[in-house]
Amino acid sequence: MTMTFVWSGRLNQGRRATLAAMKADRTFQAPLVDAVLAGEIAAMWLLFRSAVPSRTRLRQVTQPVVILIGDDDLKTTGSSGWSAADTVLRWAEAVIVHAARGEAAHYVQAVELARTYRRVALVETASLAADDWIDAARAAGVERIMHIAPRGGVHPLGDGAHARRGERTLIFTPDGGVHEL
């Protein structure tokens, strides 16, 4: 059994209530949740490191999709700790390695990438595992990788100080170039 949430198409009241609660708890994800509620995209939140989305189900979704991997808890493992890492990264047309505090603008970017490339993996991780996720995405053949990193520090800091730091966004291109937005 895959322990994930997938929302696409029509949303029943229970799923709408769950999304509303997520939006209230994690306000920075509001743009992503709003796009799901509006029926613009589908989203999957992987809840457990052992969860693996069904490849059949991934092929059936006709909307743009964002799959979110939450590797930014106190047990950050990098890609090797997630059973779904290889499946999700090989499926993705674009990957965001998000190693900074959450901001709504970052989730707007995820929605825009989904609209453009249709299959986006959004990896929320600690800065110490960001390079591992970038390497795993490259090894999976992903050409579009966005890295959102904390400016001048690490994430998470544990004391809330990261909320006072700005982030920088790096785009890794297929030719090995790195560009800062």
pTM comes to: 0.80
Angle CA 42–34–137, to nearest 5: 45
pLDDT band at 166 (very low <50, low <70, confident <90, very high): very low
pLDDT digit string, tens, across residues 18-44 = 777 777 777 788 899 889 888 899 888
pLDDT digit string, tens, across residues 2-21 = 444 555 556 777 777 777 77
Residue type, 119: R
Q: Can you read off the two tokens belonging to residue 161?
A: 């100080």
pLDDT digit string, tens, across residues 106-160 = 999 999 999 999 999 999 998 889 999 999 999 999 999 999 988 766 776 553 3
pLDDT of residue 181: 41
Contact call for residues 83 and 107 (beta carbons, < 8 A): no
Mean of the per-residue pLDDT values for the chain?
Answer: 80
Percentages of the chain per state (helix, strand, coil), in multiples of 5: 40, 25, 35
**Alpha-carbon separation of residue 33 from 75, 76, 119 (angstroms):** 25, 24, 16
Residue 170 confidence (pLDDT) above 80: no
**Alpha-carbon separation of residue 134 from 17, 121, 123 (angstroms):** 34, 12, 10
DSSP states along 97-112: EE-S---HHHHHHHHH
Residue 53 confidence (pLDDT) above 90: no
Q: Can you read off the two tokens belonging to residue 98?
A: 């998000």
Mapped onto helix, strand or coil, the DSSP state of residue 133 is helix
Answer with the residue of higher pLDDT: 100 or 75. 100
Count other Cβ atoms within 10 Å, centred on residue 144.
18
Of the CA atoms within 13 Å of residue 128, those in its CB half-sphere come to 8
Residue type, 129: A
Residue type, 160: G
pLDDT of residue 39: 86
CA 2 – CA 161 distance, rounded (Å) = 35
Residue 91 confidence (pLDDT) above 90: yes
